[in-house]
Chains A and B, each alone.
Chain A
Amino acid sequence: MSPDISTRVGQIALERPTMLASGILGISLDVFGRLYKEGAGALVTKSLSKEPWDGYPNPTIIGLKNGYLNAVGLSNPGAPYFAKMLSQNQTIPIIVSLVGSIPEDFTFMIKQFENVKILGYELNLSCPHVEKVGLEVGDDPELVHTIIKSVKKESKVPVLAKVGLGSSDYLETVRTACESGIDGITAINTLRAMAIDVETARPILSHKIGGLSGPPIKPVAVRCVYEISSKFDIPVIGCGGISSWEDAVEFLLAGASAVQIGSAVGEKWTGVFSEINNGISKYMEKKNYGKISEMVGIAKKF
């Protein structure tokens, strides 16, 4: 019998452990449908705001020798527009990512999705390149607490918090989130970074500072997943630099119940999900694991 690669992130059940990370290709239901068919276990939308945002002027995304740098500026069509688009959805497992500054931003957006079929929400407490939202919220424990409290009160589906490395101790953000009733943690977002063109002496991104993603951030992300799952009794989704099944397995062993794939979609295109799923399945067969849960966090026993 081939191994069972379905998994659970708290109350969220997934047919497959590989999810699409927020901000990657996620702006239409047609695309979500395609990626689901091609192997993704769930799709996280772009982070949505109350109103549509155009984002920053280009350059917003560039490739580096290794990895990617982006400061898209959270461009998105806005939660009301998105909710309308998703209202036709019946079968695709979608997690809605939300970004805002105050509790009312989030509760307003959750109202929009009241009658839309989704698996859950992911609160973006970690975007590193937009003022007053993302990491600037994640760095403020008081705000994290009131946002999660009010979101949990409104939401009928599980709520995840996505954390990153800001200017405060991210483990304190996780602690606050857990104490406020969060259902799971996604770690990590991109890491603050920049690139300067030596010929013109200019920062390349229009926003100058952006976020680093892809293979270079993987060891940092693995460390965070390991630390969070060691210190707290909370389901974790691993994200950061995953581009092969070995990368995905590493996150599972560190304590993640599922993984998200971002930059590697650009590199390997939409086949990346089934490639990684198949690799995980073969690994489980070889190691005699019948279920994903049997391998989650086992690196912690050493």
Chain B
Amino acid sequence: MQKSFDTPKIVTIEKVVDETPTVRTIFFSDEMLSKVLPGQFAMVWIPGINEIPMSVMVSQENGKAAFTVRKHGLATTELFSKKVGDQIGIRGPYGNSFTIKQGNLLLVGGGTGLVPLIRMITFLKKSDNVTLVMGAKTKLEVFFEGLANKLLEGTKHKVIVATEDGSYGEKGLVTDVMTKLFQENKFDAVYTCGPEKMMHKVVQIASENKTHVEASIERMMKCGIGICGSCCFGDVMACKDGTVFDGVTLLANKEFGYTHRSKSGILDNY
């Protein structure tokens, strides 16, 4: 029997937080989404506009959840412009999640790809040693640094920011930072989410260093529930078999890092 949460449920936006000039986090109450595993997503209905996949963000409040959206095309711009009191529809949670390992853990993310990694942090043990590397083009686009430090308070941890133009933190790409970290450290697992070219590099570096790695991948999603096929990624469906895959699976998938499908299903290059 199917679960009733595949029909959009209307929730009201209760709070909006500006993260950068183009990124906002919107908060709402929903018991089910407040408890999702790191990497899971919801389909978000912006009535009259579209319905799009969004990772579920932590809210730090019981029974509440959030989305962190970057203004991009029509749907994300509409979602970004929602105000307190506005209504959106949600269905989910969908997809699998990161496997939670222990020990010396490296999290590498960029942009709204940080969302599942921030949720991941809330599932880790006090005894874990977490290093979070977050990338942005420039200082203005850095977000979640304070939140990550706050969530990791009282544990052995490091939050490293890398900007491409060097206007904040280390200059360069997150993968440059990652390479340096691997010269001096051993990690028990690496988790990544962000632009696919970045994830591809992260998976390669981790694999070269014989370290377990998992990435949460994005594909065009229409149904989110394994029916339409639009999120097809090699012979798997991102929405149902993923969104999280391990490094071995990813490196065997010829689409990873190179191609994704358009709305009609045509393969395009990244």
Contact = CB atoms under 8 A, between A and B. Distances in A.
Given A28-B232, A204-B7, A263 B264 contact: no
Contact of A206 (B2, B4, B50, B261): B50
Contact of A52 (B10, B240, B264): B264
A204 to B, nearest CB: 6
A172 interface: no
A25 B2 contact: no
Given A77-B266, A78-B264, A27 B232 contact: yes
Interface string A168-212: 000000000000000000000000000101011010101000000
B45 A25 contact: no
Interface stretch (A29-37, A156-164, A278-286, A288-296): A29-37
B2 A265 contact: no
Interface residues of A, number: 48
Nearest to B87: A200
Contacts of A219: none
Given A55-B222, A58-B52, A269-B240, A25 B229 contact: yes
A81 B266 contact: yes
A266 to B, nearest CB: 4
A60 B232 contact: no
A59 interface: yes
A75 B230 contact: yes
B115 to A, nearest CB: 20
Contacts of B265: 27-28, 46, 52, 75-77
A46 B229 contact: yes
A25 B10 contact: no
30 contacts: A24-B228, A25-B227, A27-B229, A30-B232, A30-B234, A34-B235, A34-B236, A52-B264, A53-B264, A59-B8, A59-B51, A60-B223, A61-B222, A61-B223, A62-B6, A63-B7, A65-B7, A67-B2, A68-B2, A68-B227, A70-B223, A75-B230, A75-B263, A78-B266, A81-B266, A197-B8, A197-B47, A214-B2, A266-B227, A269-B240
